[in-house]
DNA sequence: TTGTATGCGTTATCAT
DNA sequence: ATGATAACGCATACAA
């Protein structure tokens, strides 16, 4: 059905080599030849078959983006930037979801049928990363948002300790003193929440304060639901906080709703801040104070690092730190949006 | 590097045909043979090369999902279900974004280099669909959410007229009489907004009412921003509404914020309802009344129809109508969430 | 500058 | 039941 190199060659009365040269924009082709071949190409509506090309070259031009769930706002915003950056670099992006299934995460990492298609993978770890230790994924791999692991993989992430420190310092600067946090993970081997707790604790210590263990609540899935329940528990607890630092914006959205449902008010009674800067927070009521991550930066550098490693597999592992910015809004008492 | 059929065959001392049979789980293979080959496979860690397989079979196992922007909540929720459904049916999903660029939409539809990879495409039209008329995409195509076009393509969508009617009827049932709508498109050839306006108008007519043209506002991108500005304009207008029907939840989120920013209240002064049932609406304050679309249903049927057409290209075009449900919440005065 | 011929790793068509 | 071998469509080493 679809025209092939051979069809074009036949029609133009030349060899397939010549046609291939024209298609590939090879330097040494006479303009006469080029025009003739091009006409045959146009007449037949010829399109190179990418699969054949890829079998031959060994490249698929496909990147995998593995996230827990694509409909979590942070991941969909990140996906948007990754697809944009990859497209510019000549790659397609296939999205895979691990759900909250650690076994599935493991399968996606090893050489399953699926992953053999990829030239490389951008991986947003689920809850832990130990699954990766000693594993050979069979293709270049970039970790997004998680640093641990043996040093075999490139990674791109913000400085989580500093980001958490900044968020906490902001709450303290408002005069709040009874701080709580939401977002630790039962899984001790997941680095991000540990780092955020460390930043939280350090900022408190710098102000001569400390948080009781029960003021730092776990959240399994970083969902609005999790945030809601954790905040409700804090409010119902012995020492209700006057400010809550949530380890994600989604947790914060749930927490804010819980505050109001308990008859209290944000930010008057309890100030709330998150991390991620998802779009939802800008128009929420109150608008959500947060730490903004530069997802475009993360995507650009992740794709660049991956592309480099695809070309040169034994490059030393890169460790890119992405910038972050404190964005105070109404949920910590900063008044109207622009 | 990676082991091939030939390597396995050599090691097991058989022909590649036999190995292929074992891999493909072909019926007629002696168990002795099978065991011997399997051992060789395991020892070499052989994995079939999907690219070669696909060159041979002509199938890529890849579906394209084309959406305007993956970080729009409705699309990311839909993508989640599509990826799930496709995975079950043995397909991978590549996500492509048209942005708001109509030229890019057109490119993605015709046989560009990119699209030749796909066995089929699930297409969420941007703003218009006339770009498709007379176009041969070169692969099966399913339209999501848009019905128009010549009848060559399958499509899956809700009954937009009825959904809009239901939403409007709900507002009327609250006793509201000064209704407005947000979400028409300058582009007359985009069907969905036209249908929703029709449902809106019909419901009003059934109550002996009619909406002045300036009470039905356009929204270019269905963003929170668009909703905010349209609602602000309505409130500042000569005849401020007591209820607003937004053609998407995102518009509604922006509209609600605009109401409060103008010193009024939802639902007391103005009731607001959207369409889509995005997660954000459940925890928003007030929680958002909406018309829920069954995205799992849409994804399941879209993937099924696509898979069927990939197998049998000249199937008659299907037209699947997905169910919708009215979900009243606080933004139209229905009290607390469960 | 252009043509010929080989192989990428599979599946499928012949045989045996 | 299994073996030999021809495509699938392209890129490229080698020849001319």
- A12-37, pLDDT tens digit by residue? 888 888 888 888 887 677 888 888 88
Residue A337 domain flag = no
Q: Is the minimum distance from the CB of A17 to strand C below 7 Å?
A: yes
Q: From the list A47, A62, A260, which residue is nearest B116 (CB)?
A: A47
Q: Are residues A44 and A97 in the same domain?
A: no
Strand C nucleotides, any atom under 7 Å to a protein CB: 1-5, 7-13
Q: Distance between CA atoms of A335 and B227, rounded to whole angstroms? A: 21
Q: How far is the CA of A16 from the C1' of C4 (A)?
A: 10
Q: Are residues A34 and A92 in the same domain?
A: no
- B198-221, pLDDT tens digit by residue? 999 999 999 999 989 999 999 999
Q: Is the pLDDT of residue A228 over 90?
A: yes
Q: State the pLDDT at residue B113.
A: 59
Minimum CA–C1' distance nucleotide for B54 = C10
Residue A79 to residue B70, Cβ atoms within 8 A: yes
Residue-number span of the structural domain to which A189 is assigned: 160-292+326-332
Q: Are residues A287 and A318 in the same domain?
A: no
Chosen for mutation from B228, B276, B279 (greatest number of chain A CBs closer than 10 Å) is B279
Q: Are residues A288 and A298 in the same domain?
A: no
Q: State the pLDDT at residue B280.
A: 97
Q: Is the minimum distance from the CB of B6 to strand C below 7 Å?
A: yes
Q: Is the minimum distance from the CB of B117 to strand D below 7 Å?
A: no
Please, which pLDDT band fits residue B148 given cuts at 50, 70 and 90? low
Q: Is the minimum distance from the CB of A55 to strand D below 7 Å?
A: yes
Q: Are residues B102 and B14 in the same domain?
A: no
Per-residue CA distances from B251 to A118, A280, B230, B281 (Å) = 37, 12, 9, 11
User: Which chain B residue shows the shortest CA-CA distance from A78?
Assistant: B71
- Helices B31-44/B5-12 angle, 10° precision: 120
Mean pLDDT of A198-204: 98
Q: Distance between CA atoms of B268 and B264, rounded to whole angstroms? A: 8
Please report residues of A whose CB lies closer than 8 A to that of B266: none
Minimum CA–C1' distance nucleotide for B5 = C9
Q: Are residues A178 and A253 in the same domain?
A: yes
- B227-266, pLDDT tens digit by residue? 999 999 999 999 999 999 999 999 999 999 999 999 999 9
- The last residue of a domain, from among A57, A82, A100: A57
In chain B, residues 21-60 whose CB comes closer than 8 Å to chain A: 45, 47-52, 54-55, 60
What's chain B's average pLDDT? 89
Query: Long-range CB contacts (< 8 A, 24+ apart) of B210-213?
Result: B211/B179, B211/B180, B211/B181, B212/B239
Q: Are residues B116 and B146 in the same domain?
A: yes
Q: Is the pLDDT of residue A55 over 90?
A: no
Residue B46 domain flag = yes
Quote the Cα angle for B21-B26-B32, to 5°: 70
Q: Are residues B110 and B28 in the same domain?
A: no
**What is the CATH number for B209?**
3.40.50.2300
- B313-325, pLDDT tens digit by residue? 888 888 999 999 9
Residue B92 to residue A114, Cβ atoms within 8 A: yes
Residue A338 domain flag = no
Mean pLDDT of A108-121: 71
Mean pLDDT of A136-149: 78
- A257-281, pLDDT tens digit by residue? 999 999 999 999 999 999 999 999 9
Residue B324 near residue B162 (C-beta atoms within 8 A):
yes
Q: Is the minimum distance from the CB of A49 to strand C below 7 Å?
A: no
Mean pLDDT of B163-185: 97
Q: How many domains is chain B built from? A: 3
Q: Are residues B105 and B26 in the same domain?
A: no
Q: Is the pLDDT of residue A65 over 90?
A: yes
Please report residues of A whose CB lies closer than 8 A to that of B116: 47-50
Q: State the pLDDT at residue B337.
A: 53
- The last residue of a domain, from among B34, B57, B80: B57
Any chain A CB within 8 A of the CB of B101?
Answer: no
Q: Are residues A195 and A281 in the same domain?
A: yes
Mean pLDDT of A58-84: 93
Q: State the pLDDT at residue B270.
A: 98
Residue A279 to residue B71, Cβ atoms within 8 A: yes
Q: Are residues B204 and B86 in the same domain?
A: no
User: Which chain A residue shows the shortest CA-CA distance from B253?
Assistant: A283
Mean pLDDT of A191-199: 94
Residue labelled with tokens 């019905």: B147
Helix (H) or strand (E) holding A305: helix A295-311
């Amino acid at each position: 059905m679809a025209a092939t190199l051979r069809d074009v060659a036949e029609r133009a009365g030349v060899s397939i080599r010549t046609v291939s040269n024209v298609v590939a924009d090879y330097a040494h082709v006479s303009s006469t030849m080029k025009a003739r071949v091009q006409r045959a190409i146009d007449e037949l509506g010829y399109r190179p078959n990418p699969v054949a090309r890829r079998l031959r070259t060994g490249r698929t031009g496909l990147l995998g983006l593995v996230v827990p769930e694509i409909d979590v706002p942070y991941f969909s915003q990140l996906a948007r930037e990754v697809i944009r950056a990859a497209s510019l670099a000549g790659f397609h992006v296939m999205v895979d979801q691990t759900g909250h299934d650690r076994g599935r995460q493991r399968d996606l990492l090893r050489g399953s049928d699926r992953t053999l298609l990829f030239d490389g993978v951008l991986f947003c770890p689920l809850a832990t990363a130990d699954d990766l230790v000693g594993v050979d994924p069979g293709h270049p791999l970039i970790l997004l948002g998680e640093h641990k692991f043996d040093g075999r993989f490139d990674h791109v992430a913000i400085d989580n300790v500093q980001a958490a420190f900044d968020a906490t310092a902001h709450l303290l600067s408002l005069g709040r003193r009874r701080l709580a946090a939401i977002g630790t993970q039962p899984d001790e081997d997941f680095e991000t929440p540990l780092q955020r707790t460390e930043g939280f604790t350090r900022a408190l210590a710098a102000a001569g304060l400390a948080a009781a263990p029960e003021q730092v609540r776990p959240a399994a899935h970083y969902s609005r639901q999790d945030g809601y329940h954790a905040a409700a528990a804090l409010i119902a607890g012995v020492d209700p906080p006057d400010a809550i630092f949530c380890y994600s914006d989604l947790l914060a959205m749930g927490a804010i709703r819980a505050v109001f449902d308990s008859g209290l008010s944000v930010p008057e009674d309890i100030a709330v801040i998150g991390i991620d800067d998802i779009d939802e927070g800008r128009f929420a009521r109150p608008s959500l104070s947060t730490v903004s991550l530069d997802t475009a930066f993360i995507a650009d550098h992740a794709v660049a690092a991956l592309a480099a490693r695809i070309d040169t597999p034994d490059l030393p592992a890169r460790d890119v730190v992405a910038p972050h910015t404190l964005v105070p809004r109404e949920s910590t008492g900063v008044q109207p949006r622009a």
